[in-house]
Amino acid sequence: GAVVSQHPSWVICKSGTSVKIECRSLDFQATTMFWYRQFPKQSLMLMATSNEGSKATYEQGVEKDKFLINHASLTLSTLTVTSAHPEDSSFYICSARPGRAPGDTQYFGPGTRLTVL
Amino acid sequence: GIQVEQSPPDLILQEGANSTLRCNFSDSVNNLQWFHQNPWGQLINLFYIPSGTKQNGRLSATTVATERYSLLYISSSQTTDSGVYFCAVYTSGTYKYIFGTGTRLKVLA
């Protein structure tokens, strides 16, 4: 149980284009999902918290107009990287929380590797 | 904000060896999790352990919240244990998990 999928698993795009990444909880409902970013050989950095039916909460320093998050249902959250540039190349990981308490465990998707040329 | 430091940063073991990974945090926490990130990037939940000791097969973990550290024990290591181990702590003041710096483990056959 507690499986989270991400699509695509990797994507290469040209500078200036937009890329959408999907995160789905396959066997549970998640009112809250999270988006992380990981640079090579570094730890995970939380970008934003996505709540179903409401606006996402972005961490300090994360541009909300560049990283658009939509959590339209209890099983799907999307991250759109708008007007991508080479510095946006990274490993993007989502997680979903089955429980309602903020400190409950999270389950992670397999990640999406984005390369912007 | 809270700092989460893991040690050692890198570890190389021969198959069959035992190891202890440490996670130190600078402030009180409400919850703590250990994860294994495999070489393909997938994070796998190992333990949800705000306090006390838990065991799952060859792995066990202990969190001493009052002294602000947690330990992950790996016994009889296997090559499939290779990857990066992260601890993540949750504090009610931040409403989010903060990930540690990670320990990169390589187990040699």
Report the DSSP pairing between strands B69-74 and B83-91.
unpaired
Bond before B8 cis per omega within 30 degrees:
yes
Per-residue pLDDT tens over the stretch B25-78? 999 999 999 999 999 999 999 999 999 999 999 999 999 999 999 999 999 999
- What's the mean per-residue pLDDT of chain A? 93
Residue B62 tokens read as: 């202990």
Q: Mean pLDDT over residues A11-35, rounded?
A: 95
Phi, psi of B36 (to 5 degrees): -115, 125
**Is the predicted pLDDT of residue B24 greater than 90, yes or no?**
yes
Range B11-20 average pLDDT: 97
In this prediction, residue A11 has a pLDDT band, given cuts at 50, 70 and 90, of very high
- Which A positions 69-108 lie with beta carbon below 8 A of chain B? 91, 93, 95, 102-108
Mean of the pLDDT values across residues A110-114? 97
Nearest-CA distance from B17 to chain A in Å?
24
Q: What is the pLDDT of residue B17?
A: 98
Bridge partners, residue A3, by sequence: none
Percent of chain B predicted with pLDDT > 70 = 100
* Torsion (CA) A106, A109, A115, B4 in degrees, nearest 10: 30
A93: chain B residues, CB-CB within 8 Å: 41, 43
Model pLDDT, residue B96: 87
In sequence order, which residues have a C-beta less than 8 Å from that of residue B94 and are 6 or more positions away?
A: B1, B2
**Which residue of A4, A32, A39, A43 to mutate against B (max B Cβ within 10 Å)?**
A43
